[in-house]
Structure formats: C-alpha cells, structure tokens
C-alpha cells in the first residue's frame, strides 16, 4: 500500500497542477478586475458577473440553453430507436452497429462539421440535387442559419446518446419482457412499463453528455452559424482570445460549469429517487 501511494504521487501532482489549480485560478479570476489595457488586476470585483446580467448576454445565455435543450431532445428522439434496434439485434448486427456508431466519435468533430458546409452551401450537394431534380429554381440559403447549427449539433452528438442508451438496454433483464407477454401485456405496454423505465439511466447519461457538449461547443456555431448565432461558448472564447476580458470570460465559465453541475445534480436526484422507489417496491 505504501508503494502504491508513492507511485501515484507524480500522477496526483500532475493532475493537481494542470487540472485543479487552473480551475481554481479561473474561479479566482472571475472575481478580479481588469485595467484599461485588458490586464487582470488582483483587486476584488463582481464586474465579471455584473456584465453577464447585461440583456445582450442574458439573451445569448437563453439562446444557448434553448439550443442545447432542443439538440438534446432531438438527439434522444432519433437515437433511442436506433439504440433499441442495435440492442435487440443478433450478436453480429450488434457488433457491427456498435462499431459503426463508435467510428464517427473518433473522427474529428471539426471535420464532421465541415462536411455539412459541403452539403448545405449555396452550390452545395443538397442545392445541386434539388435544382437538378427541378424541385427548386433558386438555391436555398441553408448555411448560416439556426437550423444548420441545430443539425450540426445533433449530427455531432448522436453517438453520445446512442451508446449509453444501448448499454442500458443491453444490460436489461430481457426475461421481464417474456414474463410481461406471458401475462398478456401488449408490446407497447411492455415497452412503456418495462423497457423504458429500465433504460432511464442510459437516457439520463446520454442527455447530460449531449447537453454539456452542446453548450461547450463553439465550433459548430462558428462554422455553420455564421455571426448571427452566437452562443455562450463563442463569447467565452472571444473573451479569452480576442477581447481579453478575462474576468468576464472566467465568470461566464463559472456560470457555465455551475449550470451543468446543477443539471447533473438534478439528474442524480432523479436516479436516486427511482432507485429508492424500486427498493420500496421490492420490500
């Protein structure tokens, strides 16, 4: 045991120095002020947080929340049937389905987002095809719209939703379904009362993953949304790399993390009460 403690010291030091300390500095910096040149001055101030309550930023925060929630819901709706299909398929189809879902995860999201520029731009594939078939005369403006951003987000994060739901469905005791059908339940009833509750943990994990990832992803809005659709993550990035208002950028980051943490906490609470209810039911 002593040897283990000795061995883990460099790993701990690394994580402390490059993971924990930087985050503490960000929190501290969010409470600092800055001088006219944009340098951070170590003087307590709530200006970073006050700036957030500007109507401009509150609006962007609201837009970000809406986009993240809509992305999560759309991802859930299209991913659940897919995860269900893979989990109930033959072992061969299961293996292949999983490989096919996992591969995009490892392809750079920048590239996956860029692919949609090829599809959606004015002379892009979709417009070319539509005009070719005579369905439209003039190319449609699809790039640099909110729809394009939503599409790009959903496209990027589908694997995040499919995989946890698949895992939950796969681990479920399928004899329950046999029991249900023996007792005369219809397929829908069995799904509604057995499969769906049993896959709740997967749904929750998927939703948290997609929600947090969408909120933190400034590249999709950058590439597919143009200047019109700005999100909190774009503002954070600009504050750090462009405007150099680090206290404000730090305050936004703290708000972003706290919002996400609250969400995950609510998620844990929901899971907890479900587990308690299950325990009571068995007792």
Partner 1 sequence: MKRKSHPLLGIHSVLMMIFIYVPILLIIIYSFNNTRLSGDWEGFTFDWYASLMTDDHVLEALMNSLTVGIVSTIVATLLGTVGALSLRGLGRRWKGSMNGLMYLPVIIPDIIMGLSLLVLFNQMHVPLGKATVIIAHITFSMSYVYVVVTARLAGMGKQLEEAASDLGATPWQTFRHVTWPQIFPGVISGALIAFTMSLDDFMVSFFVAGPSSTTLPIYIYGQVKRGISPEINALCTLLIVVSVVLILLAQFFLNRGKGQKKHKMLPI
Q: Which is nearer to partner 1, 28 or 70 (CB)?
A: 28
Q: Which is nearer to partner 1, 104 or 200 (CB)?
A: 104
- Considering only residues 176-195, where is the footprint of partner 1 by CB under 8 A? 177-178, 181
Site string for partner 1, 19-58 (x = CB under 8 A): x-xxx-xx--x-----------------------------
CB 215 within 8 A of CB 68: yes
Q: Out of 76, 82, 140, 172, name the contact with partner 1 by CB under 8 A.
A: 82
Q: Segment near partner 1 (CB under 8 A), from 53-61, 63-71, 215-223, 268-276?
A: 215-223
Cβ-in-10-Å burial (0-12, 13-18, 19+) of 252 comes to buried
Q: Which is nearer to partner 1, 261 or 278 (CB)?
A: 261
Q: How far is the CB of 280 from partner 1 (least distance, A)?
A: 27
- Considering only residues 122-141, where is the footprint of partner 1 by CB under 8 A? 123-125, 127-128
CB 59 within 8 A of CB 276: no
Supply the DSSP string of 184-249, one letter for each residue.
Answer: T--HHHHIIIIIHHHTHHHHHHHHHHHHHHHHT-HHHIIIIITTT---HHHHHHHHHHTS--HHHH
The separation between the first and the last C-alpha atoms of the chain, rounded to the nearest angstrom, is: 40
229 is a contact residue toward partner 1 (CB under 8 A): no
Number of residues near partner 1 (by CB under 8 A): 88
Report residue 187 CA to chain centroid gap.
32
DSSP run (H or E) holding 34:
strand 33-34
12 is a contact residue toward partner 1 (CB under 8 A): yes
Strand partners, 41: 33
Q: Segment near partner 1 (CB under 8 A), from 50-58, 62-70, 172-180, 269-277?
A: 172-180
Strand partners, 34: 40
């Amino acid at each position: 045991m002593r040897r283990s403690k000795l061995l883990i010291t460099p790993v701990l030091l690394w994580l402390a120095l490059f993971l924990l300390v930087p985050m503490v500095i960000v929190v501290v910096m969010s409470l600092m002020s800055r001088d006219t040149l944009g340098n951070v001055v170590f003087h307590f101030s709530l200006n970073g947080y006050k700036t957030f309550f500007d109507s401009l930023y509150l609006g962007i925060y609201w837009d970000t929340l809406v986009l993240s929630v809509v992305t999560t819901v759309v991802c859930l709706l299209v991913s659940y049937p897919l995860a269900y299909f893979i989990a109930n398929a033959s072992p061969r189809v299961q293996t292949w389905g999983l490989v096919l879902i996992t591969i995009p995860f490892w392809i750079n999201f920048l590239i996956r987002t860029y692919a949609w520029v090829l599809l959606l731009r004015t002379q892009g594939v979709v417009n070319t095809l539509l005009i070719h078939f005579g369905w439209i005369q003039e190319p449609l403006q699809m790039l640099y719209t909110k729809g394009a951003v939503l599409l790009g987000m959903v496209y990027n994060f589908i694997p995040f939703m499919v995989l946890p739901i698949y895992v939950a469905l796969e681990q479920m005791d399928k004899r329950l379904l046999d029991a249900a059908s023996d007792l005369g339940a219809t397929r829908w009833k069995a799904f509604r009362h057995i499969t769906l509750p049993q896959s709740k943990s997967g749904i929750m994990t998927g939703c948290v993953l997609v929600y947090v990832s969408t909120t933190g992803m400034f590249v999709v809005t950058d590439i597919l949304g143009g200047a019109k659709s700005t999100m909190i993550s774009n503002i954070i990035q600009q504050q750090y790399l462009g405007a150099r208002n680090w206290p404000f950028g730090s305050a936004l980051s703290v708000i972003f993390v706290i919002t996400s943490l609250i969400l995950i906490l609510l998620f844990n609470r929901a899971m907890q009460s479900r587990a308690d209810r299950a325990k009571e039911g068995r007792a």
